[in-house]
């Protein structure tokens, strides 16, 4: 009798399958798109365009210690060390088109949505110009108000409709709206199971460590509109729910979860092992971040206006008040002891309000936090010694808070 595969085994298989299918599609003469991570991929899926995600690919290259070659290639062409390292890795990869980590095929079209940051618009424009391929941009106005304005939603919906027209011109055929409806349905179901799995970490002890969440997030990006992705996250949720039922914590060795923290920012993919091991050494578990909601993209099937609203609500496209309130809510729901803020050299948008968010979480929720310097894929920025010193400081502050509570 065949043993049922775990979600972790399926995760590895599906990641490999994702890249292999894209390479095969290119060999077969099918269209391939490079797309930003939180874009309306439903449109591409419905048009049978194979999609790969340069941010995901750059993270994989960084995690496998292969990013330096591509960073140097991009910087040698004049791209500044101060811009996004995902962009630099990808722009370097575009020239070399081979990595020992994993490979993606050259694109036939680039598909960009700037709800994640403004850098992507210029990055993808440069790709389109240098490769002489179509550039589709869906512009998402920043939400300066707490909720998106109705005129912004109508503007975004118009762009989604125009993107469909562009894709019809590129492919030479009309959009299959029945297929689009099916992809939208699956995308919503995948988002549901992703969120439910991540929110099992509300249990004490959490069945989940945050670095596992970062790993599963790769497929939340890649195959959200595919049934395999939906089934994977449902299986992951069931495994985590069973661990909650059994009272099992995040680590196999049954080590104690002493402190529960929020990780704010992107993981240091090039320094994943030390950043994880140092936290585990002190009994610190990352139980949540703003990412569980980042891919919780919900809307009614066949509702393009609802899709427009859902995609503009990514947390990087929301104002300071929204992010602050969300972090305080997470702190309450997940019984948080502290916050780790990653001051990511590559991500100016996320860093811009970092010190203000730190001030607010301390002032309004009484939760201690630390900030460390790092980068998502550039290994030159992260200092293991500095990181551990900051974590030691956080432990001292969390202990002091616990002592104060115990004395009341």
* Model pLDDT, residue 350: 75
Range of the structural domain that residue 157 is part of: 7-176
Assign 364 a pLDDT band (cuts: 50, 70, 90): very high
* Model pLDDT, residue 352: 79
Does residue 63 sit within a domain?
Answer: yes
- Calculate the average pLDDT of the chain: 94
> CA-based angle 286:288:290, to the nearest 5?
130
| Residue 371 pLDDT exceeds 90 | yes
Does residue 149 sit within a domain?
Answer: yes
Distance (Å, whole) CA 129 – CA 327 = 39
Assign 407 a pLDDT band (cuts: 50, 70, 90): low
Does residue 234 sit within a domain?
Answer: no
* Model pLDDT, residue 42: 96
Mean pLDDT of 281-287: 97
Structure tokens that stand for 361 in this block: 């979480």
Mean pLDDT of 141-167: 96
Q: Percentage of the chain surpassing pLDDT 70?
A: 99
Q: What kind and span of H or E run contains 342? A: strand 338-344
Does residue 153 sit within a domain?
Answer: yes
Mean pLDDT of 312-337: 94
Closest CA to 64 of 112, 15, 110: 15
Does residue 83 sit within a domain?
Answer: yes
Does residue 210 sit within a domain?
Answer: no
Does residue 245 sit within a domain?
Answer: no
Q: What kind and span of H or E run contains 78? A: none
Closest CA to 344 of 352, 334, 336: 352
Does residue 139 sit within a domain?
Answer: yes
> CA-based angle 322:323:324, to the nearest 5?
90
Taking CA atoms, 185 is separated from 11, 94, 227, 269, 300, in Å, by 21, 34, 10, 31, 8
* Model pLDDT, residue 296: 85
Q: What is the CATH number of the domain that holds 96?
A: 3.40.50.11890
How many domains would you assign to the chain? 1
| Residue 331 pLDDT exceeds 70 | yes
Cα dihedral 292, 89, 100, 20, rounded to 10, equals 60
Q: Are 341 and 264 in contact (CB under 8 A)?
A: yes
* pLDDT tens digit sequence for 67-84: 999 999 999 999 999 999
Q: Are 212 and 255 in contact (CB under 8 A)?
A: no
* pLDDT tens digit sequence for 8-49: 999 999 999 999 999 999 999 999 999 999 999 999 999 999
* pLDDT tens digit sequence for 210-223: 999 999 998 899 99
Structure tokens that stand for 292 in this block: 């569980």
């Amino acid at each position: 009798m065949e043993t049922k595969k775990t979600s972790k085994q399926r995760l590895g298989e599906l990641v490999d399958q994702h890249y292999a299918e894209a390479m095969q599609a290119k060999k077969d003469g099918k269209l391939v798109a490079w797309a930003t991570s939180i874009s309306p991929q439903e449109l591409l899926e419905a048009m049978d365009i194979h999609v790969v995600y340069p941010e995901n690919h750059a993270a994989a290259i960084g995690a496998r210690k292969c990013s330096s070659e591509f960073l140097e290639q991009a910087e040698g062409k004049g791209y500044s060390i101060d811009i996004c390292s995902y962009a630099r890795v990808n722009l370097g990869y575009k020239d070399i088109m081979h990595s020992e980590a994993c490979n993606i095929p050259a694109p036939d079209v680039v598909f960009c949505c700037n709800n994640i940051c403004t850098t992507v618009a210029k990055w993808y424009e440069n790709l389109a110009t240098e490769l002489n391929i179509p550039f589709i941009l869906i512009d998402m106005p920043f939400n300066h108000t707490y909720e998106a304005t109705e005129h912004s939603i109508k503007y975004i919906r118009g762009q989604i409709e125009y993107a469909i027209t562009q894709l019809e011109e590129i492919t030479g055929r009309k959009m299959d709206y029945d297929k689009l409806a099916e992809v939208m349905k699956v995308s919503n179901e995948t988002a549901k199971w992703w969120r439910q799995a991540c929110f099992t970490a509300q249990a004490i002890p959490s069945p989940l460590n945050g670095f596992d969440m970062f790993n599963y997030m790769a497929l939340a990006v890649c195959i959200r509109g595919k049934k395999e992705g939906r089934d994977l996250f449902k299986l992951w949720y069931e495994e985590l729910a069973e661990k909650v039922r059994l009272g099992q914590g995040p680590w196999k060795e049954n080590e104690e979860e002493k402190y529960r923290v929020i990780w704010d920012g992107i993981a240091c993919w090039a320094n994943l092992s030390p950043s994880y091991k140092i936290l585990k050494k002190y009994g610190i578990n990352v139980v949540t971040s703003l990412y569980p909601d980042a891919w919780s993209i919900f809307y009614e099937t066949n509702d393009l206006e609802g899709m427009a609203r859902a995609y503009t609500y990514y947390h990087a496209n929301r104002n300071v008040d929204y992010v602050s309130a969300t972090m305080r809510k997470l702190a309450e729901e997940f019984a948080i002891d502290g916050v780790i803020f990653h001051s990511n050299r590559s991500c100016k948008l996320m860093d811009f309000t970092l010190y203000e968010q730190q001030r607010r979480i301390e002032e309004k929720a009484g939760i201690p936090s630390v900030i460390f310097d790092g980068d998502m894929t550039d290994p030159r920025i992260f200092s293991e010694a500095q990181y551990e010193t900051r974590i030691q400081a956080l432990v001292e502050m969390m202990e002091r808070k616990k002592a104060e509570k115990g004395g009341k």
